[in-house]
Amino acid sequence: MEIKNDKFFKMNDKKKVAKNNANLIMMDSNEKENYLRKNTLINLANNILKCLDFWQWDKYEKSKILDLKKVYRCKDLFCSNCRTVKILKAVYIFKPYFNLILDNDYSLYFMTLTVPNCDRNKLSQEIDKMNKGFRTM
């Protein structure tokens, strides 16, 4: 696959979004009094900031080829680059199933189900109820 300059520009734009997310996480960590939670958030923000900083290439000068071997990714949900990779992997995995459904003239629907917020103590009961409802559907 040939990687053109526009891909790197898009990745750079996403890195700016990730930097903003990391700054928000850092601000959130400043408000935490719990030392462990604060440290976790700081580490999370630092990992997001370091995402895509390390690229390992094999260079073949005679053929004018760069072969990408490794890229450091933080794999965090709040990192826009890593989130894109995760989405592309999911699309790749589920594409054959979607094609099979569409080939058999079935329709796909997207459904969002919500429930009111509950107390922390009743959370496991609420999750059990939701799982039972999904099994019933």
Q: How far apart are CA 76 and CA 83, in angstroms?
A: 7
Q: Which pTM does this prediction carry?
A: 0.54
Report the pLDDT averaged over residues 17-34.
82
For the segment 49-65, what is each residue's pLDDT rounded down to a tens digit?
888 777 777 888 888 78
**E-strand spans in 3-119?**
55-60, 65-71
For the segment 68-125, what is each residue's pLDDT rounded down to a tens digit?
788 888 888 878 888 888 888 888 898 998 888 888 888 878 888 888 888 888 888 9
Go through the chain and tell me how many residues it has.
137
Residues paired with residue 95 on neighbouring β-strands, in sequence order: none
83 burial via Cβ count (<10 Å: 0-12, 13-18, 19+): middle
Q: How far apart are CA 114 and CA 111, in angstroms?
A: 10
Determine the pLDDT at residue 70.
Answer: 83
